[in-house]
């Protein structure tokens, strides 16, 4: 960077630094955004394909999930980083619709590029996009419908479509809905955080099922411990169930046999106290976060109590929520109110495998505050992808339950918004009208991409959808086979579409406002 001729240059930044100004800036950013959204396009929609991600540490993932792809890509370009941040925001807010948001942002920038090249001021574009967003919100008010039981299933199905879980969608979609509707236990807004995932590690996808409680993989320490409990009063302890070792390094001198006996007897008595407290609480299932003393365990087994040690933090939390138990610190001050109830408890020893762990299930809890989706199938990579799909579906379905408004999918909502923006632009006299038209075209990329991936001609599809949106009948979208018709049962929570659109516009606008790129790396 230098100034003035004939004078020695004023060097502000180092030599490698490159400075880009004017429309070249946007071109640069837009090119990066284009690469990024083109990367995701083939994964989009019911006919979207998957990506295989292979990391330097050798781990692989096969996924269709926009959020996962975005999270794993080691993007370097600042424009791509802005898109990654946008994808993460959408994932955190809604869990679904990440790919839509990326594609929309790419398209908004692409359209902006054409107008900038013709000399439109970036801020005029920003104004036009902002007006268009207002029109979009009005159109969504018109198109939104209330959630009901059938549509709720549609929301889960739509989120699962195109993902690995689609292979058994008739099992998974009801499972997702039932999981969320089963959650009670004082939970105000049932969500994905109340649903645990448990990999069965065997069987097929169709063996997947809902557990109204939790499943834990741990060794059951004694064969004599009881099995198949019904309506089991449950105690959940966060720490160990054993007597504390002395923390001080003291040496005790024992001079007579009686003294040794007394010492041992005192220890035994303290253990008995622990066992007695547990037995007297009336519990028949005890779950602990730490170790359980062998002698205490034997006493409990004799009293017909199943005790399971060394649960991790989330297992303890889930078990307590599912049974309605209070997570207590110490066994000695159990209160009757701390106990929960597990509807059924069953543990299974897997003789056939060399696994040293048994599966303990707490099921059929009365009003569980946490439930579990048990996922069948042995392949680790495939199961991971199923879990990602289920997570999206849980998030989308819980949003639908929470805010109650739904919008039709399959590109229908975006096509209708595009139409509304286009007709609103007609009454706009200034140059912002150009930006609004560009916005409408950008929204149609959703349609075009869905059509493309379904093997249809995208231009024809866009035109046909435009005509349908203008006719103002029932919403028409692109079905999985590419046909343009009503898409019954394809629903998104309004917030997935609305927030996605908002953040795509925000990100695009913030890129358009940039007037110089100063790169220390020289790129």
Q: Which residues bind ligand ATP (CB under 6 A)?
A: 43-46, 48, 64-67, 96-100, 158, 161-162, 392, 409-411, 446, 479-480, 487, 490
Host H or E run for residue 11: none
Nearest approach in angstroms of CB 72 to Mg ion is 17
The listed partner (ligand ATP, Mg ion, none) that binds 66, CB under 5 to 8 Å by sort, is ligand ATP
CB closer to ligand ATP out of 64 and 281: 64
CB 388 within 8 A of CB 65: yes
Assigned token pair, 270: 């303290």
Nearest approach in angstroms of CB 96 to Mg ion is 4
CB closer to ligand ATP out of 384 and 392: 392
The listed partner (ligand ATP, Mg ion, none) that binds 389, CB under 5 to 8 Å by sort, is none
Residue number, nearest CB to Mg ion: 96
Nearest approach in angstroms of CB 411 to ligand ATP is 6
CB closer to ligand ATP out of 100 and 131: 100
Residues 86-105 that bind Mg ion (CB under 5 A): 96
CB closer to ligand ATP out of 271 and 416: 416
- DSSP at 193: G
Considering all CA atoms of the chain, what is the largest pairwise distance in Å, rounded to the nearest integer?
105
Short-list 186, 227, 179, CA closest to 323? 186
- DSSP at 451: H
The listed partner (ligand ATP, Mg ion, none) that binds 340, CB under 5 to 8 Å by sort, is none
Nearest approach in angstroms of CB 270 to ligand ATP is 55
Q: What angle do CA 234, 239, 240 make, to 5 degrees?
A: 95
Can you tell me whether residue 271 is helix, strand or coil? helix
CB closer to Mg ion out of 125 and 159: 159
Q: Pinpoint the alpha helices (H) of 407-471.
A: 412-425, 432-453, 458-471
The listed partner (Mg ion, ligand ATP, none) that binds 67, CB under 5 to 8 Å by sort, is ligand ATP
The listed partner (ligand ATP, Mg ion, none) that binds 127, CB under 5 to 8 Å by sort, is none
Per-residue H/E/C for 147-216 = CCHHHHHHHHHHHHCCCHHHHHHHHHHHHHHHHHHHCCCCCCCCCHHHEEEEECCCCCHHHCEEECCEEE
Q: Does 240 bind Mg ion (CB under 5 A)?
A: no
Nearest approach in angstroms of CB 107 to ligand ATP is 13
Nearest approach in angstroms of CB 85 to ligand ATP is 15
Nearest approach in angstroms of CB 304 to ligand ATP is 49
Nearest approach in angstroms of CB 378 to ligand ATP is 25
CB closer to Mg ion out of 311 and 478: 478
Host H or E run for residue 41: none
Nearest approach in angstroms of CB 412 to ligand ATP is 8
- Please give the distance of CA 86 from its chain centroid, rounded to a whole number: 15
- CA distances (Å), 126 to each of 111, 133, 400, in order? 12, 11, 31
CB 409 within 8 A of CB 435: no
CB 372 within 8 A of CB 321: no
The listed partner (Mg ion, ligand ATP, none) that binds 158, CB under 5 to 8 Å by sort, is ligand ATP
C-alpha radius of gyration, the chain, whole number: 30
Q: Pinpoint the alpha helices (H) of 59-145.
A: 66-72, 78-94, 98-117, 122-143
Q: How far apart are the first and last CA of the chain?
A: 15
Which residues face 140 on adjacent strands? none
- Euclidean distance between CA atoms 453 and 71, whole angstroms: 23
CB closer to ligand ATP out of 160 and 307: 160
- CA distances (Å), 62 to each of 4, 390, 437, in order? 56, 15, 38
- Euclidean distance between CA atoms 438 and 442, whole angstroms: 6
Nearest approach in angstroms of CB 477 to ligand ATP is 6
- Euclidean distance between CA atoms 278 and 242, whole angstroms: 12
Which residues face 348 on adjacent strands? 359
The listed partner (ligand ATP, Mg ion, none) that binds 490, CB under 5 to 8 Å by sort, is ligand ATP
CB closer to Mg ion out of 182 and 504: 504
Residues 317-356 that bind Mg ion (CB under 5 A): none
Residue number, nearest CB to ligand ATP: 409
The listed partner (Mg ion, ligand ATP, none) that binds 368, CB under 5 to 8 Å by sort, is none
CB-based contacts of 387: which residues, under 8 Å, 6+ apart?
197, 199, 375
Short-list 511, 490, 214, 148, CA closest to 373? 214
CB closer to ligand ATP out of 287 and 497: 497
The listed partner (Mg ion, ligand ATP, none) that binds 480, CB under 5 to 8 Å by sort, is ligand ATP
CB closer to ligand ATP out of 38 and 238: 38
Nearest approach in angstroms of CB 159 to Mg ion is 5
How many residues touch Mg ion under the rule CB under 5 A: the total is 1
CB 46 within 8 A of CB 57: no
Nearest approach in angstroms of CB 332 to ligand ATP is 49
The listed partner (ligand ATP, Mg ion, none) that binds 479, CB under 5 to 8 Å by sort, is ligand ATP
CB closer to Mg ion out of 97 and 190: 97
Residues that bind Mg ion (CB under 5 A): 96
């Amino acid at each position: 960077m230098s100034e003035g001729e004939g004078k020695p240059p004023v060097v502000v930044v180092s030599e490698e630094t490159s400075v880009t100004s004017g429309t070249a800036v946007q071109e640069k950013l837009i090119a990066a955004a284009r690469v990024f959204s083109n990367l995701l396009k083939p994964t989009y929609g019911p006919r979207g394909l998957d990506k295989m991600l292979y990391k330097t540490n050798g781990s692989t993932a096969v996924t269709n999930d926009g959020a996962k792809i975005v999270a794993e890509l080691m993007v370097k370009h600042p424009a791509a980083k802005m898109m990654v941040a946008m994808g993460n925001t959408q994932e955190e807010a809604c869990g679904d619709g990440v790919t839509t948001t990326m594609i929309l942002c790419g398209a908004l920038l692409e359209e902006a590029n054409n107008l900038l090249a013709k000399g439109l001021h970036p801020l005029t574009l920003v104004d036009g996009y902002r007006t268009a967003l207002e029109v979009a919100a009005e159109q969504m008010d018109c198109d939104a419908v209330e959630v009901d039981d059938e549509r709720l299933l549609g929301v889960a199905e739509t989120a699962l479509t195109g993902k690995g879980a689609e292979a058994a969608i008739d099992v998974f979609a009801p499972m997702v809905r039932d999981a969320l509707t089963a959650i009670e236990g004082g939970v105000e807004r049932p969500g994905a955080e109340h649903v645990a995932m448990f990999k069965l590690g065997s069987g097929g996808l169709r063996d997947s099922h809902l557990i109204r409680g939790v499943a834990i993989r741990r060794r059951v320490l004694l064969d004599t411990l009881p099995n198949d409990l019904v309506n089991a009063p449950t105690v959940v302890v966060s720490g160990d169930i054993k007597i504390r070792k002395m923390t001080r390094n003291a040496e005790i001198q024992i001079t007579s046999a009686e003294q040794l006996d007394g010492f041992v007897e005192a220890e035994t008595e303290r253990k008995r106290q622990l066992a007695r407290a547990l037995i007297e609480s009336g519990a028949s299932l005890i779950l602990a976060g730490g170790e359980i003393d062998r002698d205490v365990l034997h006493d409990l087994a004799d009293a017909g109590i199943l005790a399971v040690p060394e649960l991790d933090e989330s297992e303890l939390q889930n078990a307590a929520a599912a049974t309605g138990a209070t997570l207590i610190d110490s066994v000695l001050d159990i209160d009757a109110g701390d106990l929960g109830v597990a509807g059924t408890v069953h543990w299974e020893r897997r003789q056939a495998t060399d696994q040293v762990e048994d599966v303990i299930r707490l099921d059929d809890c009365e009003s569980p505050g946490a439930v579990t989706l048990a996922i069948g199938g042995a392949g680790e990579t495939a199961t991971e992808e199923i879990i990602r799909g289920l997570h999206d579906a849980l998030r989308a379905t819980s949003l639908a339950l929470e805010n109650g408004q739904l919008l039709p999918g399959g590109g229908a909502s975006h096509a209708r918004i595009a139409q509304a923006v286009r007709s609103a632009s007609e009454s706009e006299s200034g140059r912002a009208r150009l930006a609004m038209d560009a916005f409408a075209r950008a929204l149609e990329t959703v349609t075009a991409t869905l059509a493309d991936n379904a093997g249809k001609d995208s231009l024809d599809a866009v035109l046909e959808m435009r005509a349908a949106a203008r006719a103002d009948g029932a919403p028409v979208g692109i079905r999985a086979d590419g046909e343009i018709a009503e898409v019954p049962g394809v629903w998104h929570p309004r917030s997935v579409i609305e927030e996605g659109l908002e953040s795509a516009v925000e990100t695009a606008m913030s890129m358009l406002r940039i007037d110089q790129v100063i790169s220390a790396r020289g790129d």
